[in-house]
A and B are shown apart, each in its own frame.
Chain A
Amino acid sequence: DTGVSQNPRHKITKRGQNVTFRCDPISEHNRLYWYRQTLGQGPEFLTYFQNEAQLEKSRLLSDRFSAERPKGSFSTLEIQRTEQGDSAMYLCASSAGTGGTGELFFGEGSRLTVL
């Protein structure tokens, strides 16, 4: 296993378009997280899955954002009607459910630029 994989790595889109990002976590990890990061800030929590269940979603997340993890493996994050303020790095992370420290393993991120 090569770690958490995200694609596309870069996405440039026009305001108003929809975009979708995909995350493939480490295969044995049942916890999956989406974060958003802008320059000079720490990662901001968006949503959390345990297996296929979306257990928590940030109150800051508008209804233009939706995430799924249909079979408890890969996840998608969709942003509808993108706005310039959505420009950021979208980070996916996974962690093991039991044992260890439960640290997050991050993917390389998907950088979104909304023109």
Chain B
Amino acid sequence: GQNIDQPTEMTATEGAIVQINCTYQTSGFNGLFWYQQHAGEAPTFLSYNVLDGLEEKGRFSSFLSRSKGYSYLLLKELQMKDSASYLCAVRRRPGGSYIPTFGRGTSLIVHP
């Protein structure tokens, strides 16, 4: 089975930096995704890590340590529109299938 843990809720101030952590336990690890989901909308892809290290994409960065089963999403220069749920998803490869399993999500509230 799989275990994915992330904080339920975080708050931050506009313009600040926030780090959302995700820890996981899985077999057949085949990559980790971060998705953003605004209330009432579908999740949208933010980042993907399959090797250890940092991936940077504009204001968003994601880090992975496979040996520690740990990832984080870093959001810089926070804007009000960043208020959303952030979902960590671990993909495993049992046999020929590629199945992303999602954590419960971290609700980020950005206030002025």
Interface residues of A (CB under 8 A from B): 31, 33, 35, 40-45, 48, 50, 55-56, 91, 95, 101-109
Count residues of chain B with CB under 8 A from any CB of chain A: 25
Q: Is B101 an interface residue (CB 8 A)?
A: yes
Interface residues of B (CB under 8 A from A): 31, 33, 35, 41-45, 48, 50, 87, 89, 91, 94-105
Cross-chain contact A104 with B104 (CB below 8 angstroms): no
Known contacts A43-B43, A91-B42; is-contact A101 B100 (Cβ 8 Å): no
Q: What is the distance, in angstroms, from A77's C-beta to the closest C-beta of chain B?
A: 16
CA gap between A108 and B49 in the complex, in Å: 25
Cross-chain contact A102 with B98 (CB below 8 angstroms): yes
Cross-chain contact A106 with B44 (CB below 8 angstroms): yes
